[in-house]
A and B are shown apart, each in its own frame.
Chain A
Amino acid sequence: MEKQSSAEYIINIKNLDLFYGKFQALIAVDMLAQKNMITALIGPSGCGKSTLLRCLNRMNDLIRGVKITGKIEINNLDIYSKSTDVTELRKNVGMVFQRPNPFPLSIYDNVVYGLRVAGIRNKTELDEIAEKSLRGAWLWDQVKDKLNHPGLELPLDQQQRLCIARLLAVQPEVILMDEPCSSLDPIATMKIEELMIELKKEYTIVIVTHNMQQASRVSDFTGYMLLGEMIEFDKTVNIFTRPANKLTEEYISGKYG
Chain B
Amino acid sequence: MKLVGEKGVQRILMITALSAISSLLLIALFIFSEGLPFIFKYGAGNFLLANEWDPNTGHFGIFPMIMSSVWVTLGAMVVGAPLGIAGAIFLSEYASPIIMKIVKPTIELLAAIPSVVYGFIGVMVLAPVIRNNLGGPGLSLLAGCIILGIMILPTVISISIDSILAVPRSYREGSLALGATTWQTTHMVTIKAARSGIVASIILGLGRAIGETMAVIMVAGNSVNIPNSALDSVRTLTANIALEMSYATGMHREALFATGVILFIIIMILNSIASVAIRNRNAKK
Task: Establish whether residues A97 and B178, one from each chain, have CB atoms under 8 Å apart when the complex forms.
Answer: no
Task: Establish whether residues A59 and B176, one from each chain, have CB atoms under 8 Å apart when the complex forms.
Answer: yes
- What is the minimal beta-carbon distance from A62 to any residue of chain B, in angstroms? 7
| Interface window among A98-106, A199-207, A231-239, A243-251 | A98-106
Any chain B CB within 8 A of the CB of A161?
Answer: no
Any chain A CB within 8 A of the CB of B133?
Answer: no
Task: Establish whether residues B193 and A95, one from each chain, have CB atoms under 8 Å apart when the complex forms.
Answer: no
Task: Establish whether residues A101 and B192, one from each chain, have CB atoms under 8 Å apart when the complex forms.
Answer: no
| Interface window among B23-31, B64-72, B179-187, B227-235 | B179-187
Task: Establish whether residues B175 and A113, one from each chain, have CB atoms under 8 Å apart when the complex forms.
Answer: yes
Any chain A CB within 8 A of the CB of B174?
Answer: yes
A170 to B173 Cα, complex, angstroms: 16
Q: Which B residues are in CB contact (< 8 Å) with A117?
A: 175, 178-181, 184, 188
Query: Told that A90-B176, A163-B174 touch, could you supply 17 new A-B pairs with CB distance under 8 A?
Result: A59-B173, A62-B176, A87-B179, A87-B180, A101-B168, A102-B174, A103-B174, A103-B175, A103-B189, A103-B192, A104-B189, A104-B193, A105-B192, A114-B180, A116-B188, A117-B184, A170-B179
Count B-side interface residues using an 8 Å CB cutoff: 19
Question: Knowing A104-B193, A116-B188, A117-B188 touch, does A91 contact B178 (C-beta < 8 A)?
Answer: yes
Q: Which B residues are in CB contact (< 8 Å) with A90?
A: 176-179
Task: Establish whether residues A166 and B193, one from each chain, have CB atoms under 8 Å apart when the complex forms.
Answer: no
Per-residue interface assignment for chain B, residues 183 to 210, with 1 indicating a CB less than 8 Å from any chain A CB and 0 otherwise: 0100011001100000000000000000
Any chain B CB within 8 A of the CB of A48?
Answer: no
- What is the minimal beta-carbon distance from B18 to any residue of chain A, in angstroms? 41
A95 to B284 Cα, complex, angstroms: 25
Per-residue interface assignment for chain B, residues 147 to 182, with 1 indicating a CB less than 8 Å from any chain A CB and 0 otherwise: 000000000000000000000101101111111110
Per-residue interface assignment for chain B, residues 77 to 101, with 1 indicating a CB less than 8 Å from any chain A CB and 0 otherwise: 0000000000000000000010000
Task: Establish whether residues A113 and B284, one from each chain, have CB atoms under 8 Å apart when the complex forms.
Answer: no
Chain B residue at smallest Cβ distance from A59: B177
Task: Establish whether residues A113 and B188, one from each chain, have CB atoms under 8 Å apart when the complex forms.
Answer: yes
Q: Which B residues are in CB contact (< 8 Å) with A170?
A: 178-179
Task: Establish whether residues B179 and A91, one from each chain, have CB atoms under 8 Å apart when the complex forms.
Answer: yes
A-B contacts, 23 listed (Cβ < 8 Å): A57-B177, A64-B97, A87-B180, A90-B178, A91-B178, A94-B178, A97-B177, A101-B168, A101-B170, A103-B171, A103-B174, A103-B189, A103-B192, A104-B189, A113-B175, A113-B178, A113-B188, A114-B180, A116-B188, A117-B180, A117-B184, A117-B188, A166-B174
Chain A residue at smallest Cβ distance from B171: A103
A91 to B170 Cα, complex, angstroms: 17
Chain B residue at smallest Cβ distance from A95: B177
Question: Knowing A104-B193, A105-B192 touch, does A97 contact B174 (C-beta < 8 A)?
Answer: yes
Any chain B CB within 8 A of the CB of A118?
Answer: yes
A87 to B176 Cα, complex, angstroms: 8
Q: Which A residues are in CB contact (< 8 Å) with B175?
A: 103, 113, 117
Could you tell me which residues of chain A, from 61 to 99, have a CB within 8 Å of some CB in chain B?
A: 62, 64, 87-91, 94-95, 97, 99
Q: Which A residues are in CB contact (< 8 Å) with B192?
A: 103-105
Q: Which A residues are in CB contact (< 8 Å) with B184?
A: 117
A167 to B188 Cα, complex, angstroms: 17
Chain B residue at smallest Cβ distance from A118: B179
Q: Which A residues are in CB contact (< 8 Å) with B177?
A: 57, 59, 90, 94-95, 97
Task: Establish whether residues B181 and A87, one from each chain, have CB atoms under 8 Å apart when the complex forms.
Answer: yes
Q: Which A residues are in CB contact (< 8 Å) with B168?
A: 101
Q: Which A residues are in CB contact (< 8 Å) with B284?
A: 104
Could you tell me which residues of chain A, from 119 to 136, have a CB within 8 Å of some CB in chain B?
A: none
A89 to B179 Cα, complex, angstroms: 7
A222 to B163 Cα, complex, angstroms: 42
- What is the minimal beta-carbon distance from B181 to any residue of chain A, in angstroms? 6
Question: Knowing A103-B189, A104-B193, A105-B192 touch, does A114 contact B173 (C-beta < 8 A)?
Answer: no
